[in-house]
Structure 1
Amino acid sequence: MYLALLGAGSAILFVSHQDNLRIFGMGLIVPGGGFLAHADICTQNGIGHLLAALAGMAAFGFSLMIWFGTGNILAPPLVWLGLAMGAATMRHGALRESTVDMVFAGLALTMGATAVAMATWFALGRRQRRIDNTYLASQTGRLDLIFDADITPAHAAEMSLEHLQRLRFALDRALQPLDQFNGFEKIDQFQTAATRYQLNFLAYGVALTQARFTPAFRGYMHDAQIALLDKQAQHQVWSYWKLENLWGNLRADPDPVARENIMYTGFVALQMALFSASTGRRDFSETGRFTLTHPSGQRYAHDAASLVQRLEHEYSTSPYYLIACEPNWVYPLCNTIGASAIMAFDAQHQEQRWAARAQDFRHHLEAEFLDGFGRYIPCKSARTGLALPAVGGVMPLAMPCFFLNVIAPDLARRQWLLLRRQLFDRNGAFRRRAFWPIDTGNYGFSRASAYSATALAAAELGDSAVYSACLDALEKECPSVLKDGVIHRRKASVWAHGVELMARAGARDDFRDVIAAPKPVTGPQLDSLAYPAILVASAHAGHDALRAVLYADGVHAIGLRGLQPNAHYLANGIPITANANGQARFDLALNGRTSLHVQPQGGG
């Protein structure tokens, strides 16, 4: 594309006899190049032209940032063309031939330097891959020492009071009225600070907490997950797509699910999948349950199945197989999230949708989204093939390992082992400088998101050393603050809080198990408990009995469901009888941490 532009600009420059057209041709060759027509460092006008050229190049660079940040593919060509036309309309006088020679000489030098840099980069990449492969081979006998975390029995998992106070950060935001977003950060809706991502990761955290600690508790844990999904359907959350679709795809459809848009479709699909996996409920499998209503009155009816079907279609039609987020930009991380959603849907509905796609997904992930050094790139432009370098410290390389452990565990381990070398120095000290000092969730100066995301991957892979080091560093740099029974971190974004909640709910291979082998929710369950008066630290059912740990003070009403209809039970020695619907309610005196055991009368 650039060679075509270079050819057109050169033809105009050498064929035309009009100075304005020739200057326009120079503007096509280099963004802002037309202003170089009379640039020099000896005269006031010449310096002015030079500064105008530099400003034009900076403007073009800014337009590239807009393209990346918002998907606005029109910005770079319009700025480039606008600069060329603007320079051509200025009265420069006769064009200096020495200037033309200078532009082409500079262009030739730039291309030559780029070629040398690329050749050097590839040579270094080949060398680094040899080093990495040797290193990976040397780690074979150490895997049990690195991935050493114990697997906690599901029935023994219990949250501490501090953990419950961290969970309340998510619950308080989820359980407010649907049209209210108090406590959420409102910075922009196009990049990582967007409200939808805050909702996604708070919901993921609540779901994983539910699955591990409180599978036998409905109540406000279910309500929170449903509310976070229903908030995703609020127009203010998905209204961004109308603009992105217009300036990125040149289409006016505001429906964020209708076209390649995995950052909404895939993320929400996983939110639904985790809700179903952790609760056993299928609310969002009902046809049209996730309906988006535009202010114009137009309704877009969706549900879990329709989102998964859209993902399948987009995987089949995308030129890189992986699906774009912002129009044109393809992120491997986002695609591992979408792939996890399809796998979870398969496990819950006994289908084989992902089995037909797993090999192609893996092939394109490896063939198109690794750089010369064998690292996963952050993203790639589907229309140009250009890939952004691996910037942002260890987090963009660490977080994909969490989702890769579901899709391709061997790739997750390979990536993690290569990354792990950056986390400790030769003396074994934790290298905090390896973590980017910018919080992905609010663009503030904090390593909270980087520490949380890396701890999340470490928890899933079972690397206890990295997990502990990340959470220790997080506490030192962004200390916890307890206010009104809720723990938060002042410098950390809402997104970082959600990721930390996921990390604290995680254990070795837990996410993979939730996705691939969700456990059925059966037996007695807690229900209808007052929030935040009663906090449930654990709730596990088995053999028609329930064991739970509650934090509260005073006498409170306890609701139960999932009992045998009309059957008799003992709850901490209190006789109760289930109604015809298998429900019961009784009062229980609670004093701080209180254990609750519900069992059939005469049971063990």
Structure 2
Amino acid sequence: MHPHTDIVPLPPYTRLFGPVTQARVIRLFVAYLALLGAGTALLFLAHQDSLRIFGMGLIFPGGGFLAHADICTRDGIGHLLAALAGMAAFGVSLLVWFGTGNILAPPLAWLGLAIGAATMRHGALRSSTIEMVYAGLALALGATAIAMSAWFALARRQRRIDNAYLASQCGQLAVIFNAAGDAADAPEMSLDHLQRLRFALDRALQPLDQFNGFEKIDQFQTAATRYQLNFLAYGVALTQARFTPAFRGYMHAAQIALLDKQAQHQVWSYWGLENLWGNLQADPDPVARENIMYTGFVALQMALFSASTGRRDFSEAGRFTLTHPSGKRYVHDAGSLLRRLEHEYTASPFYLIACEPNWVYPLCNTIGASAIMAFDAQHREQRWAGRARDFRHHLEAEFLDGFGRYVPCKSARTGLALPAIGGVMPLAMPCFFLNTIAPDLARRQWLLLRRQLFGRNGALRRRAFWPIDTGNYGFSRASAYSATALAAAELGDSTVYRACMAALETECPSVLKDGVIHRRKASVWAHGVELMARAGTRDGFRQLIQAPPALARPQLDSLAYPGILVASAHADGDGLRAVLYADGVHAIGLSGLRPNAHYLANDIAMTADASGAARFNLTLGGRTSLHVRAQGGG
């Protein structure tokens, strides 16, 4: 089925859970039945009230505090409030588990509440209390069963409606996905675009151990420094590939620096804790065990660096070595990251790799898969070819909810999934990466999502976009607009792209300061995603991953940053065409020329040295075009 002419339908909804998820849910239910049995045995067979109350606490979190709860006495109300506080505390432990991967938090909270209730002086346990607990439990289980049945019926109905809608859109594909590729052979950034690029370059080109301009909030969730580095690097790489493939200089240096910053201990130190309390292992190496949020994301960073520059720096053995403060070194490179990804994909029952210990995110896995595909194309290998079918099958069977949306994440140990919260962004952004892995699925999910974006009057529905910035948890729709625009650019939906970028400018206006454009309320992560979107073009990411361009020669090199800003640099036969922004006389470096050959740079004659390099001085006045050509050439 060709992704540009047909739409793959949603699979029939015949079961609540996929096979792997169902096995995990059943295992969880059996574990709870064992806990319920132990609690019931203590409740009815123990002779001490404290043990019986402990048994009530095992039946559900905070249940032991209900031993003397009522609404008629002061002490009874106190017990009831204690039970409610206990259930709230258990809810917080679940958030801690989700947010940090700390799998010990929920069971320890449950056990601690049971012990705490058992140590209180309740007096004799009343039979009416026991009856109330079991009645409440039966009511909760019955309500859950009814809710699941209702969900199943509604979901089956919605699948039919959605598939009918998808079928109706077949004739509209050319209207919806209407963006063309680059109209120009040598696309060029505007000065405004260059000033936005400087937001990333300024952060990348500072000393490796400095992180000025990065947000430091937490290292466990989406505000983590590693994600800021990832997406700034992705933005620089996509910009390099589209606008300046024939420029080496500070664009290459920025990508290398953003990768080397990923190797700084402060960026990956979080894993020592997560691995300890999530996997009960003391190994701080973030690559040694399933941890796609680091391994997969960094691997894609390396892949895009190679695809956009033609360089293989990080394929050199040991090039990405991580040094622990203890002095222990973890020797890695692109190859070791890829081997880890391959192993983990195969070893996981879900065929998707966990991020935080236990939590599996489809989005993160599409990023890791894109990295493998990119290196396959660059090295003419077939790592992903044998895995693509299984990946797609498990993605559809295990991570597609009843209403046709990919769940944000799922617990690998319990099978429980978070609902599709967060507005349109967590539904839109996977489409960007899916367009490389399974473009028909990307197109299907985008069409289903697109219905939510516009009101009846044709205006963008602001309420569909999450008002909290993923990158810094502040109140801003910057990340939501940027991520949705990014997916729209890749899929070729110019209507959504323009609407999102306009809304972004309206709600988070650009600010120019010292030659750099930023948005005050937007996170660094959102700035990186916006840079990616501005470098995007229809199927641009997919083409860069699957068919990386040949190394452009000759190349601009050794230009002073930020003294000279390169808006465009493209190979032109045996020469080069570029557009530079600067004022005054500047030294221009070239590399990749034919050794000892004669060239003209505009009207300046020069001769390449034996290594194919040359330097000359050029007077620049604002926007200046540069044409380098072999003497006697066109």
Both proteins in one fold, TM over 0.5: yes
Alignment of 1:224-235 (within 5 A): 224-235=254-265
Asked whether the equivalents of residues 309 and 551 of structure 2 are also in contact (C-alpha less than 8 Å), the reply is yes
Amino acid at match of 1:187: I
Measured on the aligned residues, the alpha-carbon RMSD in Å equals 0.6
Asked whether the equivalents of residues 154 and 212 of structure 1 are also in contact (C-alpha less than 8 Å), the reply is no
Q: What is the CA-CA distance between 1:153 and the residue it aligns to? A: 4.9
Partner of 2:386: 356
Alignment of 1:188-207 (within 5 A): 188-207=218-237
CA distance in 1, matches of 2:198, 2:415: 44
More deviation in 149-158 or 187-196?
149-158
Partner of 2:536: 506
Which of 374, 382, 395 is residue 412 of structure 2 equivalent to? Answer: 382
The DSSP-based 3-state class of the residue aligned with 2:612 is coil
Deviations, residues 335-386 of structure 1 (Å, cap 9, x unaligned): 0000000000000000000001000000000000000111100000000000
Amino acid at match of 1:7: G
The DSSP-based 3-state class of the residue aligned with 1:460 is helix
Partner of 1:272: 302
Which of 483, 488, 497 is residue 513 of structure 2 equivalent to? Answer: 483
Q: What is the CA-CA distance between 1:155 and the residue it aligns to? A: 2.9
Alignment of 1:121-520 (within 5 A): 121-153=151-183, 155-520=185-550
Partner of 1:598: 628
Partner of 1:529: 559
Deviations, residues 392-442 of structure 1 (Å, cap 9, x unaligned): 000000000000000000000000000000001122221111000000000
CA distance in 1, matches of 2:200, 2:461: 30
Amino acid at match of 1:354: W
Taking structure 2 as the reference length, what is the TM-score of the superposition?
A: 0.95
CA distance in 1, matches of 2:128, 2:334: 64
Asked whether the equivalents of residues 168 and 487 of structure 1 are also in contact (C-alpha less than 8 Å), the reply is yes
Q: What is the CA-CA distance between 1:14 and the residue it aligns to? A: 1.1
Q: How many residues align?
A: 604
CA distance in 1, matches of 2:44, 2:606: 95
Deviations, residues 96-142 of structure 1 (Å, cap 9, x unaligned): 11111111111111111111111111111111110000000000010
Partner of 2:597: 567
Asked whether the equivalents of residues 566 and 580 of structure 1 are also in contact (C-alpha less than 8 Å), the reply is yes
Is 1:39 aligned to residue 59 of structure 2? Answer: no
The DSSP-based 3-state class of the residue aligned with 2:580 is strand
Judging changes above 3 Å, is the alpha-carbon distance between structure 1 residues 154 and 284 closer, same or farther for their aligned structure 2 residues?
Answer: farther
Partner of 2:24: none
CA distance in 1, matches of 2:223, 2:321: 24
Asked whether the equivalents of residues 547 and 597 of structure 1 are also in contact (C-alpha less than 8 Å), the reply is yes
Q: What is the CA-CA distance between 1:552 and the residue it aligns to? A: 0.3
CA distance in 2, matches of 1:319, 1:95: 46
CA distance in 2, matches of 1:191, 1:331: 12
Is 1:540 aligned to residue 570 of structure 2? Answer: yes
Deviations, residues 441-462 of structure 1 (Å, cap 9, x unaligned): 0000000000000000000000
Partner of 2:140: 110
Asked whether the equivalents of residues 510 and 518 of structure 2 are also in contact (C-alpha less than 8 Å), the reply is yes
Asked whether the equivalents of residues 202 and 498 of structure 1 are also in contact (C-alpha less than 8 Å), the reply is yes
CA distance in 2, matches of 1:570, 1:35: 86
Partner of 2:124: 94
Q: What is the CA-CA distance between 1:522 and the residue it aligns to? A: 3.0
The DSSP-based 3-state class of the residue aligned with 1:192 is coil
Asked whether the equivalents of residues 40 and 46 of structure 1 are also in contact (C-alpha less than 8 Å), the reply is yes
> Percent identity of the aligned residues?
85
Which of 84, 87, 91 is residue 57 of structure 1 equivalent to? Answer: 87
The DSSP-based 3-state class of the residue aligned with 2:185 is helix
Q: What is the CA-CA distance between 1:11 and the residue it aligns to? A: 1.3
CA distance in 2, matches of 1:399, 1:86: 44
Deviations, residues 264-305 of structure 1 (Å, cap 9, x unaligned): 000000000000000000000000000000000000000001
Asked whether the equivalents of residues 68 and 122 of structure 2 are also in contact (C-alpha less than 8 Å), the reply is yes
CA distance in 2, matches of 1:118, 1:61: 21
Amino acid at match of 1:570: L
More deviation in 72-81 or 13-22?
13-22
Q: What is the CA-CA distance between 1:52 and the residue it aligns to? A: 0.8
The DSSP-based 3-state class of the residue aligned with 2:247 is coil
Q: What is the CA-CA distance between 1:154 and the residue it aligns to? A: 6.5
CA distance in 2, matches of 1:371, 1:38: 41
Deviations, residues 175-204 of structure 1 (Å, cap 9, x unaligned): 000000000000000000000000000000
Q: What is the CA-CA distance between 1:156 and the residue it aligns to? A: 2.3
Asked whether the equivalents of residues 398 and 416 of structure 1 are also in contact (C-alpha less than 8 Å), the reply is yes
Deviations, residues 460-481 of structure 1 (Å, cap 9, x unaligned): 0000000000000000000000
CA distance in 2, matches of 1:284, 1:180: 21
Asked whether the equivalents of residues 552 and 570 of structure 2 are also in contact (C-alpha less than 8 Å), the reply is no
Which of 613, 618, 622 is residue 583 of structure 1 equivalent to? Answer: 613
Asked whether the equivalents of residues 451 and 471 of structure 1 are also in contact (C-alpha less than 8 Å), the reply is yes
Asked whether the equivalents of residues 324 and 382 of structure 1 are also in contact (C-alpha less than 8 Å), the reply is yes
The DSSP-based 3-state class of the residue aligned with 1:260 is coil
Amino acid at match of 2:299: A
The DSSP-based 3-state class of the residue aligned with 2:606 is strand
CA distance in 2, matches of 1:263, 1:169: 24
Deviations, residues 504-562 of structure 1 (Å, cap 9, x unaligned): 00000000011000001132100000000100000000311100000000000000001
Partner of 2:35: 5
Is 1:23 aligned to residue 53 of structure 2? Answer: yes
Asked whether the equivalents of residues 245 and 552 of structure 2 are also in contact (C-alpha less than 8 Å), the reply is no
Taking structure 1 as the reference length, what is the TM-score of the superposition?
A: 1.00
The DSSP-based 3-state class of the residue aligned with 1:389 is coil
Asked whether the equivalents of residues 36 and 50 of structure 1 are also in contact (C-alpha less than 8 Å), the reply is yes
Asked whether the equivalents of residues 547 and 595 of structure 1 are also in contact (C-alpha less than 8 Å), the reply is yes
CA distance in 2, matches of 1:9, 1:485: 67
More deviation in 9-18 or 77-86?
9-18
Partner of 1:81: 111
Amino acid at match of 2:119: T
More deviation in 151-160 or 527-536?
151-160
Asked whether the equivalents of residues 199 and 517 of structure 2 are also in contact (C-alpha less than 8 Å), the reply is yes
State the 4+ residue runs in structure 1 displaced beyond 2 angstroms.
153-156
More deviation in 515-524 or 275-284?
515-524
Asked whether the equivalents of residues 588 and 615 of structure 2 are also in contact (C-alpha less than 8 Å), the reply is yes
